[in-house]
A and B are shown apart, each in its own frame.
Chain A
Amino acid sequence: MDIKSMKNYLYWLYCQFELITCSYLMEPWEKLLFYTFNITMLVTVLYTAYVFVPVHVSTAFQFFLHLLGNQHESTVSVVK
């Protein structure tokens, strides 16, 4: 029963997507074109995120750590 209501909910979400982007009104080949374009863009964005985001996040983390680490040492020496 949970699976069925989940499936109904997902189908309802898909209907809302169709209504908002007006793909409800499109002919089948237009829908194919539109969905292909959208899914291609989405896949590209996700792949780029998968490849590049960890590298960027760790670089940024190291940069900020370095910055804060230096500051912390210098303040400690002044107080002492």
Chain B
Amino acid sequence: NPIVHNGGLYKRPFNEAFEETPMLVAVLTYVGYGVLTLFGYLRDFMRQWKIEKCQNATEREEQKDFVPLYQDFENFYNRNLYMRIRDSWNRPICSVPGAKVDMMERVSHDYNWTFTYTGRVIKDIINMGSYNYLGFAQKAGTCQEAAAKVLSQYGAGVCSTRQEMGNLDKHEELEKLVARFLGVESAMAYGMGFATNSMNIPALVGKGCLILSDELNHASLVLGARLSGATIRIFKHNNMQSLEKLLKDAIVHGQPRTRRPWKKILILVEGIYSMEGSIVRLPEVIALKKKYKSYLYLDEAHSIGALGPSGRGVVEYFGLSPEDVDVMMGTFTKSFGAAGGYIGGKKELIDYLRTYSHSAVYATSLSPPVVEQIITSMKCIMGEDGTTVGKARVQQLAENTRYFRRRLKEMGFIIYGNEDSPVVPLMLYMPAKIGAFGREMLKRNIGVVVVGFPATPIIESRARFCLSAAHTKEMLDTALKEINEVGDLLQLKYSRHRLVPLLDRPFDETTYEETED
């Protein structure tokens, strides 16, 4: 059975680990949330009885007898927990988001309800939060010069959709280049990465089709799946046994009432999951897809340019053929320093999407300087501009990833995800530590992104580092030193070096396990 004995499918070791939450930490996290909830009720009571001024949005006086708008848990959380630590998000930056960034300083005198700018600019903050995997977010260099030239030639606006007057020769050039880069027959580019997913999945599937979507898929995939009207079934995150069970059930039982066979079965997975840092088990998914004759939609938003020896994404990372993936989607936002998304696949598929996709018909096409940035950066990665800069960047990113992850694990933090993914989530767990970590790191001139409840499960809040090829070893060492200090100050080193062996695979030499009591 080629799926269970994964030694035959994987050409390289697959080291992924999600250390279990320590029991004491979980209990203390709940204690913290309990205290904040009690104080939340107290504050809500005071706001209701006008003892305290109400600064959040409420219904008007005349609407107080209607169905309440702000009584659910999301709004309670927003008023009472999110507002207290709000200064770690939406920080305004005022320079290009490269390896170092400038930020405008702001203070709040009423506990984060309003902010005022002091006028000072904090310079040269090490940027560990931007999705700048290959370091193409630059304000000087070949990409910037080419984009400036195209800007003076074409201007910035397109003023039309692809199907009307917005189809420039630059778009055709870009699409041919993207198809060549991915190794597919044809590709199409859209103006917005989120819209690529949410507007194209409804064009591919409809009622009577089945979508099998990973538990932790991005909001754009979920929205696209829901808009399509197909039946959606969720399988456990990266769990091939769960996926196989769902596929078997789908083939055996068919549609719910009529028992007819499904028109299409589409599996939605992502290359790298940005909240967990895990990489999809692509060889096994492709084996399952072929066995049960379904289609695969791979969202490579974070993995294109970041994985693989020449940056061609997760398909190259596993050494597979791009023809096995039916729809290869990705974005230009992360590794190419631009904006937009693409879909690549067979020529018939892309020609169909050109006519029937909502994004092609109604959305404005990509702006020319952005297209030129993508073209230049893609040629750089492929090595077609005559230099080895692209290859050097891809290798630098891989080295940075391995080094950073190894050092953080050695320090004793709990790090989720695969050894090779440039997205590094560091677990914080307690709500007060979310705010404290963000603030302490900013004091030490390092900008990080901390993530809390709606994006993650309520006790598993984390800080997410995004590594870049633009980070030099000195920057990483500085960052690691500060993280070490803050980790000791806030006591974040929870790891007991007991990595849970991956439960859905039999133990063999490709499983990474280490137990140390």
Residues in B neighbouring A22, C-beta threshold 8 A: 32-33, 35-36, 430-432
- Measured CB to CB, the closest approach of chain A to B400, in angstroms, equals 30
Docked complex Cα distance between A23 and B432 (Å): 8
A25 & B430 in contact (Cβ 8 Å cutoff): no
Using A19-B430, A30-B39 as known contacts, say yes or no to A24 and B435 having CB atoms under 8 A apart: yes
Docked complex Cα distance between A30 and B84 (Å): 13
Q: How many A-B residue pairs have CB under 8 A?
A: 45
A34 & B35 in contact (Cβ 8 Å cutoff): yes
B433 & A21 in contact (Cβ 8 Å cutoff): no
Residues in A neighbouring B35, C-beta threshold 8 A: 21-23, 34
Residues in A neighbouring B84, C-beta threshold 8 A: 25-26
- A7-40: CB near B (< 8 Å → 1, else 0) gives 0000010011011111111110010001000000
- Measured CB to CB, the closest approach of chain A to B433, in angstroms, equals 6
B83-103 residues with Cβ-Cβ distance < 8 A to A are 84-85
Residue of B28, B39, B431 with highest tally of chain A CB at under 10 A = B39
A25 & B490 in contact (Cβ 8 Å cutoff): no
B31 & A20 in contact (Cβ 8 Å cutoff): yes
Using A20-B28, A20-B32, A30-B39 as known contacts, say yes or no to A25 and B431 having CB atoms under 8 A apart: yes
Query: How many residues in B have their beta carbons less than 8 Å from beta carbons of A?
Result: 20
Interface of B is mostly: helix
Interface of A is mostly: helix
Residue of B35, B111, B489 with highest tally of chain A CB at under 10 A = B35
Residues in B neighbouring A23, C-beta threshold 8 A: 35, 432
A25 & B85 in contact (Cβ 8 Å cutoff): yes
B432 & A18 in contact (Cβ 8 Å cutoff): yes
B31 & A21 in contact (Cβ 8 Å cutoff): yes
Is B436 part of the binding interface, using a Cβ–Cβ cutoff of 8 Å? yes
B32 & A21 in contact (Cβ 8 Å cutoff): yes
A33-61 residues with Cβ-Cβ distance < 8 A to B are 34
Using A20-B31, A30-B39, A34-B35 as known contacts, say yes or no to A25 and B491 having CB atoms under 8 A apart: no
Residue of A15, A18, A20, A26 with highest tally of chain B CB at under 10 A = A20
Residues in A neighbouring B433, C-beta threshold 8 A: 19
Residue in A closest to B491 when the chains form the complex, CB atoms: A16
Docked complex Cα distance between A60 and B489 (Å): 46
Residue in A closest to B28 when the chains form the complex, CB atoms: A20
- B184-205: CB near A (< 8 Å → 1, else 0) gives 0000000000000000000000
A27 & B111 in contact (Cβ 8 Å cutoff): yes
- Measured CB to CB, the closest approach of chain A to B414, in angstroms, equals 17
Residue in A closest to B111 when the chains form the complex, CB atoms: A27
Residue in A closest to B81 when the chains form the complex, CB atoms: A25
Residues in B neighbouring A27, C-beta threshold 8 A: 111
Residues in A neighbouring B32, C-beta threshold 8 A: 20-22
Docked complex Cα distance between A15 and B42 (Å): 24
Residue in A closest to B110 when the chains form the complex, CB atoms: A27
Residues in A neighbouring B430, C-beta threshold 8 A: 19-20, 22
B36 & A25 in contact (Cβ 8 Å cutoff): yes
- B31-45: CB near A (< 8 Å → 1, else 0) gives 111011001001000
Residues in A neighbouring B85, C-beta threshold 8 A: 25
Would you give 30 A-B contacts (Cβ < 8 Å), ordered by A?
A12-B489, A16-B491, A18-B432, A19-B432, A19-B490, A19-B491, A20-B28, A20-B31, A20-B432, A21-B32, A21-B35, A21-B432, A22-B32, A22-B35, A22-B36, A22-B430, A22-B431, A22-B432, A23-B35, A23-B432, A24-B435, A24-B436, A25-B431, A25-B432, A25-B435, A26-B84, A27-B111, A30-B42, A34-B35, A34-B39
A residues sitting closer than 8 Å to B (CB atoms) are 12, 15-16, 18-27, 30, 34
